[in-house]
Amino acid sequence: MREYTKLYIGGEWVEPIASHGSIEVVDSSTEEVVAKVAQGGADDVDRAVAAARGAFDSWSQTPVDVRAKYLRDIGAGLTARFEEIASTISAEVGSPKTFAQMVQAGLAVGDWENYAKIIEEYDWETQLGNSLVVKEPIGVVGAITPWNYPLYLIVCKVGPALAAGCTIVLKPASYTPLNALILTEVIDSVGLPAGVFNLVVGPGGEVGEAIAKHPDVDMVSLTGSGPVGAQVSKDAADTVKRVGLELGGKSANVVLDDADPATVALGAVFSCFINSGQTCSALTRLLVPRSREQEYIDAIVEEASKVRLVDPHADEPDIFHALGPMVSRSQQETVRNYIQKGIDEGAQLLIGGPEAPEEFDKGFYVKPTIFAGVTTDMTIAQEEIFGPVLSILSYEDEDDAVRIANDTVFGLAGGVQSGDVERAKRVARRMRTGQVDINGAPFNTNAPFGGYKQSGNTRERGVFGLEEFLETKSIQLPA
Ligand code: NAD
């Protein structure tokens, strides 16, 4: 078992000021404790913010090419530890090995080169009449992250914030601190100036809250659940800091009546069950036309019959059909309760159910579950479940489909399936969400990602992600 006793503050590994106990990191498939990690407290946040503040002047003035080189060095350092990152995330999160390699580690490692290029090409200054409009880093950034794509979602903040010239205090999710420790070791090894990046592991209610309230933090950037997003906004309000929120979703996949059922089925199952449904942008509500409802249901049930629960540490090359466990016992319980609620509220259970799966006697597994006959008033049509549960709803016509798709407090993602891309685009434009995939179009790491409504208020990735960490200054020039 690995043991980490230190935080990373001011360019050094340091003991927490006072003991706040340690986190036990549990392998989601074996239920064994694989590591212990020391927690910090609010006093450690003070220290980390002071270090970040002290480093800001110099880092923010560091030439772009020097910053870009550090980013590339970090990317190279992570690449050298690619296999270790993937296997760590397979243990912490339960993501099957191939998925952990291709998606979890792949995205986290690859993005650094992107940010290096973006800042090399970015227009930091523009002339507007007699004004020079200058883009500058916002200052000290508090980054608070979740556990589902733990390293990638850290990189979505730390990458562009460093690129912008900001200094950082990172608090990773308590279920998954190990990948953040690997990143920190890499950052330490490339010789990033002391204080530019700081890591304080610890509970959200103490370390996260201290970051959100801290008067010397200029921006808090959170990826997490809606209630925590609301709390962070309140905590940040007294110091009027910028708040960037990437929150939950209940995204609709709208199947138009000209879409081929077999093609729809593969995408519908994968886009909902991806990472065992522990994906903010998972398309968890499938909207099918009433006139062809049974055809789509039959195709989906056939496709879902290929889905298997697997040991995340085993070689399972089929990322479309291999699902690992939930991250934790509590997440497993939450998802099973939602499945029971779906049954109790009258949805038709097509596959799965709330019982423990027979395949494994250990691990936080949940049966992949599909409901038909779901109506918008049901809990499973409205709340984010964050597990492998697909709700199928039927609609009358295109207007009805759009109405149902938008009938949620969330607005993160969506999908449209159609034989006619122009028709699909028309529907996509009417969906009140930050992104829409047409016919399972591929993920684009440079496209903006973020939510409408209660799914958040920011955009991450690419140049949009960089700009979240920038301030804009006008310098008026004399005639
Ligand atoms: P969570 O909200 O419970 O925790 C997120 C982070 O906030 C953790 O680091 C946690 O320790 C911290 N935190 C908790 N209470 C806090 C407080 N009072 N003040 C400050 N920080 C606090 O979310 P989670 O369970 O880790 O992650 C799942 C959620 O994240 C889901 O709702 C999912 O949709 C969302 N998510 C959104 C995106 C996106 O890009 N929009 C991506 C991934 C996950």
Give the dihedral sign, CA 190/196/202/203: negative
Atom of ligand 1 at shortest range from CA of 456: 41
Given the residues 156, 166, 272, 280, the one annotated as active site: 280
Could you tell which of 176, 280, 330, 468 is best to mutate to test the pocket of ligand 1, judged by most ligand atoms within 8 Å of the CB?
280
* Cβ proximity of 187 and 139 under 8 Å: no
Calculate how far, in angstroms, residue 222's C-alpha sits from the geometric centre of ligand 1: 7
Residue nearest to atom 4 of ligand 1 (CA): 224
Calculate how far, in angstroms, residue 257's C-alpha sits from the geometric centre of ligand 1: 37
* Cβ proximity of 456 and 450 under 8 Å: yes
Pocket of ligand 1 (CB under 6 A): 144-148, 153, 171, 173-174, 204-205, 208-209, 212, 222-225, 228, 231-232, 246-249, 280, 384, 386, 412, 451, 456
Return d(Cα 335, Cα 342) in angstroms, integer. Answer: 11
Percentage with pLDDT > 70 across the chain:
100
Atom of ligand 1 at shortest range from CA of 173: 9
Diameter of the chain measured on Cα atoms: 78
Given the residues 246, 316, 460, 468, the one annotated as active site: 246
pLDDT over 90 at 1, yes or no? no
Return d(Cα 33, Cα 268) in angstroms, integer. Answer: 35
Residue burial 17-51, b: 16+ Cβ < 10 Å; e: rest: eeebebbebbbbbeeeeebebbbbbbebbebbbbb
> What pLDDT is recorded for position 161?
98
pLDDT of 167-225, one tens digit each?
A: 999 999 999 999 999 999 999 999 999 999 999 999 999 999 999 999 999 999 999 99
* Cβ proximity of 143 and 169 under 8 Å: yes
State the average pLDDT over residues 340-356. 98
Calculate how far, in angstroms, residue 425's C-alpha sits from the geometric centre of ligand 1: 31
pLDDT of 217-247, one tens digit each?
A: 999 999 999 999 999 999 999 999 999 999 9
Q: Residue 208: which residues within 8 A CB-CB, separation 6 or more?
A: 144, 171, 202, 222, 228, 232
Return d(Cα 144, Cα 474) in angstroms, integer. Answer: 31
pTM for this prediction: 0.98
Calculate how far, in angstroms, residue 424's C-alpha sits from the geometric centre of ligand 1: 32
Cβ neighbours of 354 (radius 10 Å): 17
Going by DSSP bridges, is the β-strand pair 7-9/389-395 parallel, antiparallel, or unpaired?
A: unpaired
Calculate how far, in angstroms, residue 57's C-alpha sits from the geometric centre of ligand 1: 30
Is 280 noted as a catalytic residue in this protein? yes
Calculate how far, in angstroms, residue 229's C-alpha sits from the geometric centre of ligand 1: 8
Is 246 noted as a catalytic residue in this protein? yes
Cβ neighbours of 293 (radius 10 Å): 17
Return d(Cα 289, Cα 406) in angstroms, integer. Answer: 16
pLDDT over 90 at 95, yes or no? yes
Could you tell which of 37, 207, 217, 223 is best to mutate to test the pocket of ligand 1, judged by most ligand atoms within 8 Å of the CB?
223
pLDDT over 90 at 316, yes or no? no
Atom of ligand 1 at shortest range from CA of 231: 18
Residue nearest to atom 22 of ligand 1 (CA): 204
Average pLDDT, the chain: 98
Cα 233 to chain center, whole Å? Answer: 18
pLDDT of 403-426, one tens digit each?
A: 999 999 999 999 999 999 999 999
> What pLDDT is recorded for position 479?
86
Residues across the chain: 479
